[in-house]
């Protein structure tokens, strides 16, 4: 039976059944999210179209880039300075999340070696080749920032058992503050399991080599900051 959409007078045989009439004559999709043809030429064609639409909707829903299913994660920290361990974790995170925001805490209780802007620009340079990684800074509670960004997860690294207690406390407290936010722990490569920003600062300040511990650009900035010629260096300040 050939039924042209918009031309049904409601008297055709199939129009006695409302569901069929809706499908064939009014183009009302029986399921939400279905793509409906502007004009259905025949019952068979319309059924085929519905089948194809359902299949397409299923495929679209599974695609990793589906904007409705994007998982944004936050990787927060003080990054003073960013190390190879941080970068290793950022790379791992960028592979499992659609978008990863490296979030630099603006006002930490710690007195940093590098200013906020210096750390921000180092981070930006370090992640420039990772298309789905952004750098941002935040103030206040991490859970509030994560919600503003539409993030579902917080990424944190666990290097050794010693990290676990502090990280667990922070994850559980964040969950108490906002149960919608999950903390995901990842392990950096073994080679970085003993690496920390604090040790990098200490080694660099005492004149040791941090060559394999930080990206090249961070090594250069550390040298610039701590060289005896730099008036603002901590070492220079200590010696005065």
Six-digit token pair at 168?
């667990």
Six-digit token pair at 87?
């970068």
- Using CB under 6 A, which of the segments 39-47, 70-78, 92-100, 111-119 binds ligand PNS? 70-78
Residues annotated as part of the active site: 86, 110, 159, 197
- The smaller minimum CB distance to ligand PNS, of residues 78 and 121, is found at 78
- The smaller minimum CB distance to ligand PNS, of residues 24 and 156, is found at 156
Binding-site member from 23, 50, 74, 77 for ligand PNS (CB under 6 A) = 77
- The smaller minimum CB distance to ligand PNS, of residues 3 and 105, is found at 105
Site mask for ligand PNS (CB under 6 A), range 87-106, x = bound: ------------------x-
Binding-site member from 59, 173, 191, 230 for ligand PNS (CB under 6 A) = 173
- Sheet containing 182-186: order of strands: 133-138, 99-105, 72-77, 153-157, 182-186
Q: Is 186 in the site for ligand PNS (CB under 6 A)?
A: no
- The least distance separating ligand PNS from the CB of residue 220, rounded to whole angstroms, comes to 22
Binding-site member from 76, 81, 85, 157 for ligand PNS (CB under 6 A) = 76
- The least distance separating ligand PNS from the CB of residue 93, rounded to whole angstroms, comes to 14
- Using CB under 6 A, which of the segments 27-35, 75-83, 115-123, 186-194 binds ligand PNS? 75-83
Binding-site member from 170, 186, 217, 235 for ligand PNS (CB under 6 A) = 170
Q: Is 78 in the site for ligand PNS (CB under 6 A)?
A: yes
Render the chain in DSSP notation, one character per residue. Answer: -B--TT---S-SGGGGSHHHHHHHHS---SSTT----S---BHHHHHHHHHHHHHHHHHHHH-TT-GGG--EEEEEE--SS--HHHHHHHHHHHHHSSEEEEEEESS-SS--SS-HHHHHHHHHHHTTT-TTEEEEEE-S-HHHHHHHHT--EEEEE--SHHHHHHHHHHHHHHHHH-TTPEEEEEPPPGGGTT--HHHHHHHHHTT---TTTS-HHHHHHHHHHHSTT-TT-HHHHHH-
Rg over CA atoms, the chain: 28
- The least distance separating ligand PNS from the CB of residue 95, rounded to whole angstroms, comes to 21
Q: Is 81 in the site for ligand PNS (CB under 6 A)?
A: no
Interface residues with ligand PNS (CB under 6 A)?
76-78, 105, 141-142, 170, 173-174
């Amino acid at each position: 039976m050939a039924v042209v959409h918009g031309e049904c007078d409601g008297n055709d045989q199939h129009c006695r059944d409302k569901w069929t009439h809706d499908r064939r004559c009014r183009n009302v999709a029986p399921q939400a999210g279905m793509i409906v043809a502007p004009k259905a030429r025949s019952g068979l064609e319309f059924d085929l179209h519905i089948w194809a639409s359902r299949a397409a909707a299923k495929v679209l829903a599974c695609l990793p880039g589906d904007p409705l299913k994007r998982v944004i994660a936050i990787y927060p920290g003080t990054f003073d300075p960013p190390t190879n361990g941080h970068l290793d974790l950022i790379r791992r995170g960028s592979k499992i999340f659609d978008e990863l925001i490296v979030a630099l805490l603006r006002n930490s209780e710690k007195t940093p070696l590098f200013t906020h802007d210096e750390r921000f620009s180092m981070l930006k340079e370090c992640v420039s080749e990772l298309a789905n990684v952004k750098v941002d800074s935040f103030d206040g509670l991490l859970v509030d920032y994560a919600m503003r960004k539409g993030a579902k997860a917080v990424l944190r690294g666990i290097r050794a058992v010693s990290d676990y207690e502090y990280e667990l406390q922070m994850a559980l407290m964040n969950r108490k503050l906002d149960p919608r936010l999950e903390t995901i722990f990842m392990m950096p490569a073994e080679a970085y399991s003993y690496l920390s920003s604090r040790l990098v600062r200490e080694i660099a300040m005492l004149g040791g080599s941090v060559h394999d511990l930080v990206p090249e650009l961070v090594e250069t900035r550390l040298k610039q900051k701590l060289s005896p010629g730099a008036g603002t260096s901590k070492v220079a300040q200590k010696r005065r």
